[in-house]
Structure 1
Amino acid sequence: MANPVFNSSPVFQDPKARKGTNGRTAAPESTIDAVTLEKMYGTPSATPRETGRLTYDDVIMKTGGLLALLVVVAAGTWAITPDYPWLYVVGAIVGLVLGLVNSFRREPSPPLIIAYTLAQGVFVGGISYLFQNWAVPGTVDGTAQPIVLQAVLATLATFAAALFLFRSGKVRVTPKFTKWLLISMVGYLVFSLVNVVLSFFMTSDGFGPLRNGGWGILAGLFAVGLASACLIMDFDSIKRGVEGGVPAKFAWTAAFGLIVTLVWLYLEFLRLFAMLNRN
C-alpha cells in the first residue's frame, strides 16, 4: 500500500496476507448441537454496528468531523497569520511528529489523531494565507486569483471523481497498480528532496530550481496524479477493513489516513495554481 497509515495497520491489509500464502484457514470442528443451531438460525441477524465492526458510516462520520475541525482551525489561523506569520511552521513541525506517531501505531488513538488534525489546521491555514498573499501576482492591487478557493474546489472534485471511479470499478487496485504507485512515490520523494537541497545553492521562483517554469507545472500535475491514486488505494484499504469485519475503533485510523492524503492533495493543488498564475 502507498499510504503508511493503512500499511502499518494489518487490519486493512489483504486478507490473504494476514492468513497465509494461500489465504486459507483451517475450519474448526463444530461442537454446536441441533437445538442450539436452530435457535441461532431463528435469531435476527446482527448489524455490523451491533457487533462492534467497522462500517462505512463510521468512516464517513469520523472523516467529516476531522475535516470540519481542520477547516475551523485553518480559518482561525488564516485570520491571525498577519500578526503571527510563523505559526504555520509550528503547525508543520507538530503535525509531522504527530503524523509519524499515528502512522506507526497499531492501535488508533483518537486524542492523538485529533491533535494531528489541529496541527494540520494551523499549518494549512497559515500556508494558505502566505500562498494567497505572497506567491500570486497582483495581491497588492486586489487582482490576485483566488488560488485557495481554487485548490479547495479542485481537491473536493478530485476526491469525488476518485470515489466514483473506485465505486464504479473503472479503476481497480491491482498488484501492478500498487507497484507503479510505490515506485512513483519513491521517485517523487527523491525528486522533492533534491529540489529542496538545490534551492540552497540555486535561484528559483520560490518553489525550488527543479520547479521553475513548465517543468514545475509538469511536476505539479504528476504530484496531483499521485495523490489521486493514493485516494484510490485508501478507498480500497477501507473496503477491505469493512468487508473483513475489523473493530469499529479503526474508523479513526481510516479517517486519519484520508485526512493525510487530502491535505497532501490540497497542498499540491495550491502550489500548482500558484505556479500557473506566475506563468
Structure 2
Amino acid sequence: MQSSNPFMKSLTKSTTESQRAQAMAHQQGGYGQTGYAQPGYAQDPYATQQAYQQSPNYGAPQKAADRPMTVDDVVTKTGITLAVIVVFAAITMVIGGSNPSLAMGLTFIGAIGGFIAVMVSAFGRKYDSPIVTLVYAVFEGLFVGGFSWLLSGMAVGDSDAGAMIFQAILGTVGVFIGMLVVYKTGAIRVTPKFNKIMIGALIGVVVLALGNLVFSLFSGDAGLLRDGGPIAIIFSLVCIVLAALSFLTDFDQADQLIRAGAPSKMAWGVALGLAVTLVWLYTEILRLLSYFMRD
C-alpha cells in the first residue's frame, strides 16, 4: 500500500516526530505570556481577573482590539487556522500528483517550518500573534498534505487512499468532539497534577520517537516503533491517547483566559494550540490506519 522508497520512509518518520515535539513544546513552553494562565502551573484565573481590576486602567474605555476574549473568538480564529491548513494541504496533494519530488520537498519544509513557528509562539512570547499562527497554518498545511499523500498510498496510486484519509479525518473530528464532551461534563478534570503528568508523558514519547528515528537513519530500518508491528501499533495508540488528552489542556487554557478577561487577540494562541493537537492526532490516526491497510 505504501511506497518502498527508503527516502520517502525516512521523510515520513522524521516529519511526524516533529509533530510530537511541537505538541510537547506547546505544553512545556506554556503560552509565552506573563499574567495569563499557563498549563502545568496552578495559576488562578480569578486572581488574574483581580489583577486586572486593580490595574489603573480598569474601567476605562478600551479599544475594540483589547476587548475581552470570548468563545466566539476562539471558534472563529480556530476555524480560520484550520481553513488555511486545509487549503495548503490540498495544494500539496495536487502538486504530488504531477511533481512528486516537489511535494516531498514541500512536506519536509512544512514540517520544519511548523516546528519553528511553534517554538516562536511558545518561547518567543508571540502567543497572541495572528501572523505566527497563520504562518504555522501554512507550513503545517504543506506537511499535512504531503504526509497524507504519501502515507495513504496516494503516492503509488492506491485506490483506497481517499477512503483512508477520510477515515482519519472522521476519527480526528470524533475524538475532538468526544474530548470536548469529557471536558464540559467534568469527567476528567484538568489540574496542575494532570498537566505535569501530561508533560512527562509527552517528553517520554518524544524521546522514544527521536531514539527510533536516529536508529532508523543509521540502520536503514523503520525501527520497532514505526515498522507496523505490534509494538508500532501500541506506540501509535499511546500517541493517539496523549493527543486526545491534550485537548483537555487546550480547552482548559481557553476557559481560563476567557474567565480572566484576557484580550481577544489571545484567541490566536488558543487556535494554534488546538491546531497543533489536531494535526498530531490526525497524523497518528492516519499512520495507524496505514499499518492495517498494508498488504
- Aligned-residue CA RMSD in angstroms? 2.9
Within 5 Å, give how 1:178-193 maps onto structure 2.
Answer: 178-193=195-210
Say yes or no: does 1:59 pair with 2:78: no
Q: Is the 8 A contact 2:45 2:257 kept in 1?
A: no
Q: CA deviation at 1:105?
A: 3.1
Question: Greater helix percent: which structure?
Answer: 2
Q: Is the 8 A contact 2:32 2:121 kept in 1?
A: no
Gap runs ≥5 in structure 1: 29-39, 41-45
Within 5 Å, give how 1:98-247 maps onto structure 2.
Answer: 98-107=117-126, 108-133=128-153, 140=157, 142-143=159-160, 146-202=163-219, 204=221, 206=222, 208-212=223-227, 213-247=229-263
Gap runs ≥5 in structure 2: 1-23
Q: Is the 8 A contact 2:46 2:259 kept in 1?
A: no
Q: Structure 2: how far apart are the matches of 1:51 and 1:111?
A: 17
* Change over 3 Å in CA distance of 1:124–1:15 after alignment to 2: same
TM-score of the pair, normalised by structure 2? 0.77
Say yes or no: does 1:88 pair with 2:112: no
Deviations 1:33-55 (A, max 9, x none): xxxxxxx9xxxxx9xx8970011
Q: Structure 2: how far apart are the matches of 1:252 and 1:87?
A: 25
* Change over 3 Å in CA distance of 1:209–1:50 after alignment to 2: closer
Q: Structure 2: how far apart are the matches of 1:181 and 1:55?
A: 26
* Change over 3 Å in CA distance of 1:61–1:4 after alignment to 2: farther
Deviations 1:218-246 (A, max 9, x none): 00000000011111111011111011111
Q: CA deviation at 1:153?
A: 0.8
Say yes or no: does 1:278 pair with 2:294: yes
Q: CA deviation at 1:109?
A: 1.7
Q: Structure 2: how far apart are the matches of 1:24 and 1:73?
A: 42
List, as ranges, runs of 4+ consecutive aligned residues in structure 1 with deviation greater than 4 Å.
17-20
Deviations 1:188-221 (A, max 9, x none): 11110110011123354x4x33333000000000
TM-score of the pair, normalised by structure 1? 0.81
Q: Is the 8 A contact 1:220 1:272 kept in 2?
A: yes
Q: Structure 2: how far apart are the matches of 1:141 and 1:70?
A: 24
One-letter code aligned to 1:259: A
